[in-house]
Every structure is written in structure tokens, then in C-alpha cells.
Amino acid sequence: MIQRCVKPPTRRRLVQATGVALSLGLAVGAMAAEPTVDPEADRILRAMSTYLGGLTAFSVRADVDDEVIDLAGQKLQLSSSASLILERAASGR
């Protein structure tokens, strides 16, 4: 039988997870051959990046469902939700 302990994520873990997800997405994009990148998708991603880069704060909410099948064949669904609030520190620029 598979047992999992699900703890509510801390703000630090959510920020770390978001950073890892974004880094992996950028790394995969960089590894792809240039001709296979859809120009429209690239334009949209760059516009989103520019928009988020200009914000002083933003938040993200997520509902996550995870399905696990134990050794007895029973399907278990684990549900959780997460909130991330990001505020940039004031810079002396």
C-alpha cells in the first residue's frame, strides 16, 4: 500500500516550486531546435514575460488533483489548493 503524507505548502516552497517550474520551462524551450518553435507561441510567451516583469506584485491560485493507484488497485485521489502572492522588494534604482 502506498502512503503519502501531504503537508500544506509553505510560501517559501511555493516560490521555489514556481521558480523551478519556470526554469524548467525556459530550459526546455532553449533546448528545442529553433525552427520547431511556433512564432505565435514565442510572441505570446514573451508578451506574458514582459507583462509579469513590469508588475510590482501578483498572485496565483491553484487547485491540484493527484491520482495514485495503490498495490491493491485502489485509485486514490488527493486534492489540495495553493496560493502564491509575490511582491517585489523596493529597489533603489
Confidence (pTM): 0.42
Q: What is the pLDDT of residues 14-65, one digit of tens each?
A: 666 776 666 666 655 555 555 688 999 999 999 999 998 888 998 999 999 9
φ, ψ of residue 84 in degrees (nearest 5): -130, 125
Residue with cell 491493491: 72
Alpha-carbon distance of 67 to 79, in angstroms, equals 9
